[in-house]
Structure 1
Amino acid sequence: QRWISPFDFATMKLVATLSITATLVCNTLSSPIKHNQLAFVPASSSRSSLAPRQNVAVAHPATTTTSLSFFQDLLKSFTPKSDEEVTPQTNDYDEPIEEALTILNEAAETKSQDPETVVTALEDLEKLMRKKAKAEPTAAANVLKNLNGSWRLIFTTGTKTTQDRIQKTVNYFPIKAVQRFDTSTDPYGIENGIYLGDVSVVKFTGPFEFNEKSRKLEFDFTKIALFGFGITIKSGDAAKIGASTGLGSESNVKNSEKGKKPFFNWISADENIATARGGGGGLALWKRIDVEEE
């Protein structure tokens, strides 16, 4: 009779343990387990384990149960998350931006929003879009892209000079003023027109430059058309005309004398509305219009 050495016995126990563990993991992967538990039968003595089986009734020892939660947690750590489980990145500006845009879209469409509410929405949007532009570099490029087309001035707080003169904030713009931007030309082109009904009274045209980092649009009108008759003007003349008629800022005249151009700091532009702060400090809201509406 061959005796089993302690080393052989330890090796057999290790192999048996690894076999049980491997079977447990395979069963977990391939088939459901009732109540997430497996029954483990305690090992008997080495002699009874090695003894030949007898055709006699054997009383099975009581079984103990061990939870599979350890193995399931282990498997989960190696299982890739599905698309539904991936938590989307969030920020603290997109939702309030949408809230401000909802107010401004309503104001542009119906002119029914309270002017103070519109001013607050413009101020909030300005702060939020500044934050968004820092976090998302493409935001400013999207503003320039969306500027293409024609825009009717709907609401303005007016320049600081105008507000002081009339002792109140200008709100919904009373006459038809349309600005058009064209980024398909080199340099980019801008047109600013004032209308009586559908009749163009005066139009200023010229080039503009756009700084994507600051969303600053600098322009210089070089031509003016009065009732359709075009006249070439000197740089800075348009600023003087604008200031004298109340359509522009006195600061534009001072800037032109220093060789600086008038400008807008654009806040936003999408398929429906555009917003900006002018060089004179006023906030403005435009509504996109079709060419036929000009």
Structure 2
Amino acid sequence: MLRSIIFYTTLLLGIASTAAAFTQPQSFTPTRRNSFLALSTATATSDADIQEAKALLCRAAETKLENPDRVLDALESLEKNCKKKHKENPAAFSKDIMDNISGEWRLIFTTGTKERQKKSGGRVNYFPLKAIQTFDATVEPKVIENGIYAWNLPLLRFSGDFDFDERRRKLEFDFDLIELFGLIKIKLGRKDVAKIGASTGLGSANNEKLADNGRRAFFDWISADENIATARGGGGGLALWKRVEEE
């Protein structure tokens, strides 16, 4: 009975849970100075591209008025250049993410999973519902929550724990508790949660496959700062979140 309630609640909600290479002529033998200048130029270019992408994404998060195609282009640009920055210093880059990730984040934009993109026939626009993802990296085990809200009432909320692989920027998580309307709490195994998510559109079918193989769902994290967070989900979708300011 309770699982039927969960199924129809999620079904009604109808949501989806998202150095430029420098080559030299063959006859040119780069000196250490030339190599340093090329690296410096590449780094500066990446930094500028990151800031440009973040500026557009911040505007999109605040207004939801930026063209969705431009938002997606900015997400892809940010992902590409953040990968380069991560390779330069994985430990420092990952520490910066973990230092900023704790808190509440509202989902602003998602492309949806690859499966959903195929079904919709194109890109997904701004997310219409109030979806809040919460992370707490200051405790052990680290805590993750994902919920859909009507004003401040959680209609449906999943919670569990997560780990972060600094070397791969991979955040792996399990949901094992479901809460309905802030009143009913149901403890379920991760396979059950993955199946519910996949059957209702809340999660990716890929998460169900991972659970069947004893693996955890994941995000490939891109960035997190004082304003926005970005990641690519295990189902292949890109997502943009805006930090929820404390009242």
**TM superposition score category, shorter chain reference:** 0.7 to 0.9
Could you say what secondary structure the match of 2:93 adopts?
A: helix
2:184 is the alignment partner of 1:184: no
Aligned residue for 1:126? 79
> Within 5 Å, which residues of 2 pair with 1:46-65?
none
Looking at structure 1, the residues matched to 43 and 196 of structure 2 have their Cα atoms a distance apart, in angstroms, of: 48
* Counterpart for residue 49 of structure 1: none
Deviations 1:243-284 (A, max 9, x none): 122121111111110111110001000000000000000000
Alignment pair present for 1:262 and 2:211: no
1:209 aligns with 2:152: no
What's the RMSD between the two structures over aligned residues?
Answer: 1.7
Taking a change above 3 Å as real, the CA distance of residues 167 and 212 of structure 1, as seen in their structure-2 partners, is same
Retained in 2: the 8 A contact 1:150–1:178? yes
Q: C-alpha distance in 2, partners of 1:102/1:125?
A: 11
**Could you tell me the TM-score, scaled by structure 2's length?**
0.80
Q: Distance in 2 between matches of 1:235 and 1:243?
A: 12
Q: Is 1:242 the counterpart of 2:197 in the alignment?
A: yes
Which residues of structure 1 form unaligned runs of 5+?
1-86
Q: Where has structure 1 moved over 4 Å in runs of 4 or more? A: 87-90
**1:155 equivalent in structure 2:** 109
- Distance in 1 separating the partners of 2:175 and 2:41: 46
Aligned-residue offset at 1:90:
5.6
Cα distance in 1 for residues equivalent to 2:66 and 2:42: 33
Deviation of 1:237 after TM superposition, in Å, equals: 1.7
Offset, 1:235: 1.8
Q: How does 1:10-159 map to 2 (within 5 A)?
A: 91-137=44-90, 138-159=92-113
| Aligned partner of residue 83 in structure 2, secondary structure | helix
Deviation (angstroms), 1:91: 3.0
Q: Does 2:244 align with 1:289?
A: yes
The sequence identity of aligned pairs, in percent, is 54
Shift, 1:291, TM fit:
4.9
Cα offset for 1:89?
Answer: 11
Counterpart CA distance in 1 for 2:54 and 2:202 is 26
Tell me the CA shift for residue 213 of structure 1: 1.2
Q: Supply the distance in 2 between the matched residues of 1:189 and 1:146 (Cα, whole angstroms).
A: 14
Partner of 1:3: none
TM-score where L is the length of structure 1? 0.67
Q: Deviations over 1:218-256 (max 9, x none)?
A: 000111111122111112222112112212111111111
Please give the alpha-carbon distance, in whole angstroms, between the structure 2 residues aligned to 1:237 and 1:287.
29
- Quick one: which amino acid aligns to residue 274 of structure 1? A
Aligned to 2:233: 278
Distance in 2 separating the partners of 1:145 and 1:245: 33
Between the aligned partners of 1:291 and 1:222, the Cα distance in structure 2 is 27
Partner SS, residue 253 of structure 1: helix
Q: Secondary structure at the match of 1:172?
A: coil
* Structure number with bigger Rg: 1
- Contact 1:220 1:236 (C-alpha < 8 Å) held by counterparts: no
Residue from 102, 116, 126 that aligns with 1:172: 126
Letter in 1 for 2:181: F
